[in-house]
Chains A and B, each alone.
Chain A
Amino acid sequence: MVLGMPTKNPDAQSKVVAIIAEFDSVDAILAASEKVRDAGYTKWDTHTPFPVHGIDDAMGIKPTILPWLVLGGGITGCLGGLALAWYTNAFEYPFLTSGKPQFSLPANIPVIFETTVLLSAFGAVFGMLGLNRLPWHYNPLFKKKSFSRVTNDRFVVVIEATDPIFDVQRTTDLLNSLTPICVEEVED
């Protein structure tokens, strides 16, 4: 989701960046999502207090590439852990302990396992935040009082002005036809 960048100049004219429609149930938001998807919009989103089952299909969201980032993190952690153990104990500072080999895989498995998990977890968390473009502390949607209830009990459809088929009148009409609680313009 890309909305307008923060306005630095207070004199700049505010313009409509999105139109939002508010709903109060899961059924309504699912039905609305299907209609907006079928109308051909691409730069739009729904905002819900919890992940709604079936909304991915209703909106046509493609599967995320996140698992590959986690795999990348895991491979890096695995090889990194292996390299660390080998470099420190067998190459840079080899020392003999109880006649054990300088380097053997079994003795190093626990550390390699932990570094694998650690970097995979970093991949999952920071990958998710990165793909979601978070943290992001300015968002014109937050100016709308009704929007504050999406983290509570409301469901909102947002169609952005950057969408190629966006038109203030026609988009408003479409959203009104979905029987929302209200339809509002978001300005920035």
Chain B
Amino acid sequence: MTTLTSDNAHNPVADGEKVLGPNDNAYQDPTHRAPLVVGKHNFTTITETVTDLNLRKTPKAWYVAFAISNCLLLMFLYCIYELITKGVGVWGNNNPVAWGFPIVNFVFWVGIGHAGTLISAILFLFRQNWRTSINRFAEAMTIFAVCCAGAFPALHVGRPWLAYWLFPIPNQMGMWPQFRSPLLWDVFAVNTYATVSLLFWYVGMIPDLATLRDRCKNKIGQFLYGLFSLGWTGSSRHWHRYEKAYLLLAALATPLVLSVHSVVSFDFATSQLPGWHTTIFPPYFVAGAVFGGFAMVVTLAVPARQWFGLKDFITMRHLENMNKIILATGMIVGYAYTTEFFMAWYSGHHYEQFTFLNRPFGPYSWAFAVMFCCNVFAPQLFWFKKCRTSIPIMMFVAMCVNVGMWFERFVIVTTSLHRDFLPSSWDMFVPTKIDIMMLIGSFGLFFTLFLLFCRFLPMVAISEVKNVTPQAHAHHDHDEHHEGGQH
């Protein structure tokens, strides 16, 4: 059996390119495909590297991280308790700014939830095999982000115990939801997205859960992994249908992921409010979602590959590819910001023009400046290969984008609402302590779920990674694959 190595790949030093490390696969050489997995790996070592993370004794650092994120989660639950017992007055929401932090946070989290399905579905359809190393935890991130997102509109209704009114369920009032309202479209879009993402994630995980079932030594683990792997045997007749199902799910999830943030943007775009009432919103929101989502994937991937020893799978080339996507989508977002200003001027609409002057020069100009610098200027560093392949710089840019994308939603929601048509109804929005604690607390929910995932579920798609190694392919008819790995 051959082993996958980068030894027989083209040596980048000969071309005078900078070498980043012993396992560098980020070089640019069009005559050779860069390996997707570096280091000396065969099927056995791939299985062991990934499953040992779940089967070993829980590391102490995990308990520390889990305790911290649980504290944040408790803070989130405390805020919900305050909200339910005292009412929406605990928030800073007021009459012109009725949406406030909850909707800002909702759009922020839903946006983050887009990268996972983009990686799993769209990159799958485009045969971007580098996705295999990062798709599993990007999908997990999607689902947990959607959990966080779902909490906010449900709480924002003010009386969360009546949130079932959102759904078309026969009720005591004999009333039905309003199907012409984008807020109802949102209910359908976000719930469909959550369900389909969960199915996609779970289906992708079934073969890997079977691997864990077969390697687990303790009874509880064997039972649970056995239960959730559904009796998977790796039968070729099963794989045949499985691959077809996966392809079809990817084909279904692709328009779905584009539709979800479009529908979220309809919440704004179908209103009459200057600053919201614009046709650019759906593509602009989708690009922003992908942008913010990838920044969050990088934020999680960099520490994960370090702490969990996954550098052979999540290679520098993976990180560089993600940084390129951040640059590309960041440029689209910057273009959209500029187009909005042009359209405001070109429309000749006084209220629209005022709103867009009020953004960079009004009382929330600081928020606008943070948004613009973080989202438009910071990613420009990624034009340079040195920055794309530098861990500190990519973490800096990813953190900038995380902050910038939250502020983007803050700017859209707050600046448009706080000064509307009638100056007599203008007011400032000031978040309360509960608002801020709730935002931070939602990260507690996110990280708690993410840590549980890292501990108990396979973080890398084992069977998919095996499938992109050279020895996964018959040698008699694919000679070129001896050398590199990607195809």
Contacts and interface: CB of A to CB of B under 8 A. Distances in A.
Contact of A128 (B200, B203, B215): B203
Interface string B261-286: 00100100000000000000000000
Nearest to A107: B180
Contacts of A131: 241
B234 A88 contact: no
A148 interface: yes
Nearest to A94: B176
A9 interface: no
Contact of B242 (A51, A89, A117): A51
Interface residues of A, number: 66
B189 to A, nearest CB: 5
B237 interface: yes
Nearest to A59: B236
B13 interface: no
B234 A49 contact: yes
A26 B232 contact: no
Contacts of A95: 178
Contact of A53 (B43, B259, B464, B473): B473
Nearest to A33: B236
Contacts of B226: 137
A35 interface: no
B29 interface: no
Interface stretch (A40-48, A162-170, A171-179): A40-48
A46 B238 CA distance: 10
Interface in A79-114: 84-85, 88-89, 92-93, 95, 97, 100, 107-108, 110-111, 113-114
Interface in A135-168: 135-139, 141, 148-153
B416 interface: no
A7 interface: no
Contacts of A183: none
B42 interface: yes
Contact of A152 (B43, B174, B203): B43
A61 B243 CA distance: 13
A153 B473 CA distance: 14
Given A26-B472, A48-B239, A97-B178, A125 B168 contact: no
A66 B192 contact: no
Nearest to A51: B239
Nearest to B48: A152
A5 interface: no
A114 B255 CA distance: 10
A124 interface: yes
27 contacts: A1-B237, A1-B238, A26-B472, A49-B462, A50-B466, A51-B242, A55-B239, A61-B236, A61-B237, A64-B241, A88-B179, A95-B178, A110-B185, A113-B255, A114-B256, A117-B196, A121-B195, A122-B199, A125-B249, A131-B241, A132-B238, A132-B241, A132-B242, A134-B231, A134-B232, A152-B43, A152-B47
Given A1-B237, A100-B180, A132-B242, 14 more contacts: A50-B463, A51-B240, A52-B239, A59-B236, A66-B244, A89-B178, A97-B181, A113-B255, A114-B256, A128-B242, A131-B241, A135-B230, A135-B231, A136-B231
